[in-house]
Structure 1
Amino acid sequence: MSALTAKGIVRSEWHKLWTLRSTWITLLTGCALVLTVGITMGATYDGDDAEIDTIVFTLFGTQLSQICLAVLGILVTAGEYSTGLIRASLAAVPSRLPVLWSKAGIFAAVAFTVCFVTNLVTFLTAQIWLSGTDKELSLTDSGVLGALASSAASLTLLSLIALGLGALLRSVPGAIGAFVGAVLILPEVLSMIPFSAVETTVKYFPAQAAGSLGSIDRVENTIAPGTALLTLALWSAVVIATASVLLKRRDV
């Protein structure tokens, strides 16, 4: 029997990711949503939304694709528990943690690449209609590539949080409910509390931090983009680290 290697674990997780039908469905759906909404926004622009940042305007569909990527992240981890495949995976890798970390690393690389390429294509396609308007931009303009990349990074990190929740809860419906409730809905509820301390704290929640990214100009009433990126990275690291601890301690 060949020795267990990190390369072998990564290759195995890569193969599992791409042999799942859900991977192709969620990724293609997410890409289609971003591209379709971007084209629609560009083709119907009449100057009424001149105050909206061009990248935010073009990539409005990422608010929908975010759910697709989160669901895929959850399926990558919790999906194996629902099928029972996790037993074989952990039996092959008794130390367990390399399995979760390989899943997270591969998923992050795939999600960022797909999101960034989709953002590029959507931006360039939308500019066919936006050319000659006040939203005309090119990739060489200052801040454009950075905004497209930071948008992809925010989606990737939010999806990693979902992946970690899947590993924590070991249930696809439970993890989806936790992501929607804790990441998307809870901050909106807390923001209704009329205290400045709560308002400031909410800005550092994942979805709100993600809202600071993906634009050329800084979004009003949000934390700085660099801080937002670090905040998202810390959230995802904490969730995955917690999942790692429980993976070592719990039975399969």
Structure 2
Amino acid sequence: MSATTFEVQQFRPVERRVTFGGLLRSEWIKFWSVRSVIVTMVVSFVAIVGIGVLVSLATRSALSSVEGAQAMAANGVDAVGASMTGAQLGTLIVAAVGVIVIAGEFSTGMIRTSFVTAPGRLGVLAAKALVLAVNVAVVTGVAVFLAFFLGQAVLDTRDFGVAIGDDGVLRALLGNVAVLVGVALAGLGVGALLRNSAGGICTIVASIFVVPLLLMPIPESWGGDHLQEFWFSNTAQNATLVTQNPAYLDAGPGLLVFAVWVLALLGLGALALKTRDV
């Protein structure tokens, strides 16, 4: 009999590095796989467009009377502001999206899988931030410009509409989109810091709508005017307006300070991810 020789081959697992591109693909899939995120993004789009059109219709109705037309002509009709009213509610909605994107993973435990895949953790946060920023910019950008054109079409029936090429109009529209993206990223930072969806949403909403109201009674002698100017949600006010409000920072400096706030919140979230256990 002849002996048969078997050659045993050893199989070694192939180590694959997780690239940032891989993290981006993963986060993109996760972003559009979470039902609450999809619903919230759709609601933000509908709110920006729908409320903008409704307010424009209400403004046109007020202009139909002689007294209303005279009063608005004397005080100035903020045609862009009327069609951008929905963007104010949109900031609340996209802030919630930013919180949910990361805090939701902590509540389900999915974040453990993400951190096992990318132990550095900061790559996960960076990928989430980029995916969030791109999606919010595209969805709300389309909504903002659609709300503007529909709103101006309504107001044009009373000859109060404005064109996108008029002074400050395009800047105001882009400013609204920039604020929406920034607020969403701020929500991401707060979500990473608190790791709780309800707590994160309450915190970011309070910072946008409640704290500015609490700062108003502070007298100027105590620095109340500067506190209002430099508070997170007030810094970019003029970037969203055609006519600049002297109570707030100018559009350029305001956007810069707003960006510093957003980066600071993202930085705190990143620090929490690196120093706290899952």
Q: TM-score when scaled to structure 2?
A: 0.86
User: Is 1:207 paired with 2:207?
Assistant: no
2:151 is matched with which residue: 112, 118, 126? 126
The partner residue of 1:85 within 110, 113, 123 is: 110
Q: CA deviation at 1:26?
A: 0.7
Which residue of the partner structure matches residue 14 of structure 1? 28
Q: Name the stretch that deviates more: 128-137 or 75-84.
A: 128-137
Q: Deviations over 1:196-218 (max 9, x none)?
A: 41221221112112322212221
Residue of structure 1 aligned with 2:51, choices 30, 34, 37: 37
SS class of match (2:226): helix
Q: Which residue of 2 aligns with 1:225?
A: 251
State the partner residue of 2:18.
4
Describe the SS at the equivalent of 1:3.
coil
Deviates further, 94-103 or 59-68: 59-68
Aligned residue in 2 for 1:97: 122
Q: CA deviation at 1:219?
A: 2.2
Q: Distance in 2 between matches of 1:223 and 1:134?
A: 31
Aligned-residue Cα RMSD (Å) equals 1.6
Mapped to 1, the partners of 2:273 and 2:33 lie a distance apart of: 24
Structure 2 contact 215–227 (Cα < 8 Å) conserved: no
* Cα separation, 1, equivalents of 2:163 and 2:83: 13
Distance 1:20 1:243 in 2: 21
> Per the alignment, in what secondary structure is the counterpart of residue 213 of structure 1?
helix
Q: In structure 2, how many angstroms separate the alpha carbons of the residues matched to 1:247 and 1:135? A: 51
Aligned position for 1:28: 42
Aligned to 1:250: 276
Letter in structure 1 aligned against 2:16: S
How many residue pairs end up in the alignment?
252
**Residues 22-50 of structure 1 deviation map (CA, whole Å, 9 limit, x = unaligned):** 12211111111111111112223233445
Q: State the alpha-carbon separation in 2 of the partners of residues 236 and 209 from structure 1.
A: 11
Gaps of 5+ in 2: 1-14
Query: In the superposition, relative to structure 1, how do residues 235 and 52 fare at CA in structure 2: closer, same or farther (>3 Å)?
Result: farther
For 1:135 and 1:73, how far apart are their aligned partners in 2? 36
Give the letter for the 1:230 counterpart. L
Q: Is the 8 A contact 2:172 2:242 kept in 1?
A: yes
**Quick one: distance in 1 between partners of 2:217 and 2:210?**
12
1:113 is aligned to 2:138: yes
* Alignment-mate amino acid for residue 171 of structure 1: N
Q: Paired residue for 1:156, among 171, 176, 181?
A: 181
Question: How does the TM-score come out when normalised to structure 1?
Answer: 0.94
The structure having more radius of gyration, on CA atoms, is 2
The runs of at least 4 consecutive aligned structure 1 residues that moved more than 6 Å come to none
1:54 counterpart = 2:79: yes
Deviation at 1:178, TM superposition (A): 1.3
CA drift at 1:240: 0.6
- 1:165 lines up with 2:190 in the alignment: yes
Change (3 A) 1:195 1:142: closer
Preserved contact between residue 54 and residue 215 of structure 1 (Cα < 8 Å): no
Whether 1:75 and 2:100 are equivalent positions in the alignment is: yes
Counterpart residue number, 2:7 = none
Counterpart contact for 1:33–1:65, Cα < 8 Å: yes
Counterpart in the other structure of 2:214: 189
For 2:53 and 2:228, locate their aligned partners in 1 and report how far apart those are by CA, in whole Å: 32
Identity, in percent, stands at 31
**Does the CA-based 8 Å contact 1:183-1:205 persist in structure 2?**
no
